[in-house]
Amino acid sequence: MAESEDVKVLGAWMSPFVMRARIALNLKKVDYEFIAETMHPKSELLLKSNPVYKKIPVLFHKGNPICESLIIVQYIDETWTSVHPILPADPYDRAIARFWAAYIDDTWNPEVRKYSMANTDEERAVVAEKTFAGVQLLEEAFQTCGKGGNWFGGDALGYLDIALGSYLAWIRVTEKMSGLKILDGDKFPQLTAWADRFCAEEAVKGVMPETDKLLEFAAAMIARMKAASSAK
Amino acid sequence: MGSDLPEKGLVLLSSWASMFGIRVMIALEEKGLEYEYWGQDLGNKSATLLRLNPIHKKVPVLVHDGRSICESLIILQYIDETWPGADGASCFLPADPLARSRARFWADLIDKKITDAGANLWMTKGEAQAEAKKEFMESLKLLEGELGEKPYFGGETFGFVDIALVCFASWFHTYDVSGSLNMEAELPKLMAWVKRCQERESVSKALPDPLKVYDFMLILKKRYGIE
């Protein structure tokens, strides 16, 4: 067990980005204090520790704030080095893992999120097509990166597992709200099996939101967003 | 230029005006690495480029011993980790995890805040341009604050964030004119830092002539049908 080094995570239960920090700390068996962010309005602590983006998560270690979830995960990996490496050892494998994590955050997830805001069947069809095209790429990436193992990281849960896995609760919510089967076991057998495996992991179980609770939250959030955009 | 990639060695697919490609050129030069440069016509993308970067179809792509790496900051880290130099002496990223996280943070901010805002300075007008101007200048002021009195973002040594930002230097003239910014007056420390970086051979070799870049921007505007 890592000695108490004053580790805190400022975040919220529904954020996939916050989950990433918590999973990484759990894998490293690092004790930390979870500080629930108030959000509306944003706390003094958040505004002070992340003045540039004013977003969660923020990791605090020895009083120092670290921001941006994937940067936090790399910080955790580079600080607690004796337990469970998160990034692959080989520089090329690291580059590939980083590439796919960036793809998920910058390209794929923003597309998936468009579904709930789409107004017509045509718009929804375009989003669905792009979503599935992305999942196909990730199914292939799983095989390339995983090299036959159970994880994107190979034999152990790693960086890319955390990057994608943290979205699973939201993916399940999107599936329930849209009727789309995003993780279709017939089309994407490896990813579907991986998703169940990920959610069952000790380091993940306690921080993965329950789908029903998240569904309720999502419905309320989308209603607010739609009201705001139609009021313009 | 053959269309067959060599089995061994480094090939960089890029375009002379691409700031992201310039990052990689600086990095390779800093490490003293030999490489083949395959210039790309982004208006008519080559089969090789589309094969090596099928998802984003962009430059730069670095090929090392036949394997391709995409996304400039990822390429930079790959180069840094593959050729760390004796005792990691020539590394772009510092050794300390906290300092590394900060370097990554600022490089990421450059990608998030400078790239699109900079492009919108010449691609848009009116309100959109005014917003781009605000975001661009605010972000550069933040970066200037981060630089402070240090010679480089990396401290005493030229590093990751320096490479991530100095690649935009040849575009500053274009941004300045398009957005009526007066960067020299508004960002004196940053402009001094640019000059300091340009004293490095790796940087001066990689940065194109700002006037050439301006003319290129005018060509792009025509190509995209922008007034």
For the residues A194-216, what does the mean pLDDT come to?
96
Q: Closest CB to A99: pick one of B70, B100, B109.
A: B70
Burial of residue B35 (number of CB atoms within 10 Å: 0-12, 13-18, 19+): middle
- Alpha helices (runs of H) in chain A, residue ranges in sequence order: 16-27, 44-49, 69-79, 91-103, 109-117, 121-146, 159-165, 168-178, 189-200, 202-205, 211-230
What confidence score (pLDDT) does residue A57 get?
98
Q: Is the pLDDT of residue A230 over 90?
A: no
Kindly state whether A170 is in contact with chain B, defined as any CB-CB distance less than 8 angstroms.
no
Judging contacts by C-beta atoms under 8 Å, the chain B residues touching residue A99 are 69-71, 74
Residue type, B51: R
- Tell me the domain boundaries of chain A: 7-79, 91-214
Per-residue pLDDT tens digits for A149-193: 999 999 999 999 999 999 999 999 999 988 999 999 999 999 999
Query: Residues of B91-118 as b/e, b for ≥16 C-beta within 10 angstroms?
Result: bbbbeebbebbbbbbbbbbbbbbbeebb
Per-residue pLDDT tens digits for A66-112: 999 999 999 999 999 999 999 999 999 999 999 999 999 999 999 99
For tokens 């270690």, the residue is A61
What confidence score (pLDDT) does residue B24 get?
98
Domains defined for chain B, CATH in brackets: 10-82 (3.40.30.10), 97-224 (1.20.1050.10)
Stated pTM of the model: 0.95
Per-residue pLDDT tens digits for A207-229: 999 999 999 999 998 888 888 88
Q: Where are the beta strands (DSSP E) in B31-165?
A: 36-39, 61-64, 67-70
- Please tell me the CATH code under which domain A91-214 is placed: 1.20.1050.10
Q: Which CATH architecture has domain A7-79?
A: 3-Layer(aba) Sandwich (3.40)
Kindly state whether B70 is in contact with chain A, defined as any CB-CB distance less than 8 angstroms.
yes
Residue-by-residue pLDDT tens, chain B, 227 positions: 456 899 999 999 999 999 999 999 999 999 999 999 999 999 999 999 999 999 999 999 999 999 999 999 999 999 999 999 887 767 999 999 999 999 999 999 999 999 999 999 999 999 999 999 999 999 999 999 999 999 999 899 999 999 999 999 999 999 999 999 999 999 999 999 999 999 999 999 999 999 999 999 999 999 988 87
What confidence score (pLDDT) does residue B156 get?
94
Omega before A91 within 30 of 0, i.e. cis: no
What confidence score (pLDDT) does residue A1 get?
46
Which positions 92-131 of A are in contact with B (Cβ < 8 Å)? Answer: 92, 94-95, 98-99, 102-103, 107
For residue B199, give how far its alpha carbon lies from the nearest alpha carbon of chain A (Å).
Answer: 30
What confidence score (pLDDT) does residue A212 get?
94
What confidence score (pLDDT) does residue A225 get?
84
Hey, of B64, B93, B105, which one would you mutate to test binding to chain A, going by the most A CBs within 10 A of its CB?
Answer: B105
What confidence score (pLDDT) does residue B3 get?
63
Distance CA B104, CA A69 (A): 12
Kindly state whether B53 is in contact with chain A, defined as any CB-CB distance less than 8 angstroms.
no
Distance CA A59, CA A204 (A): 18
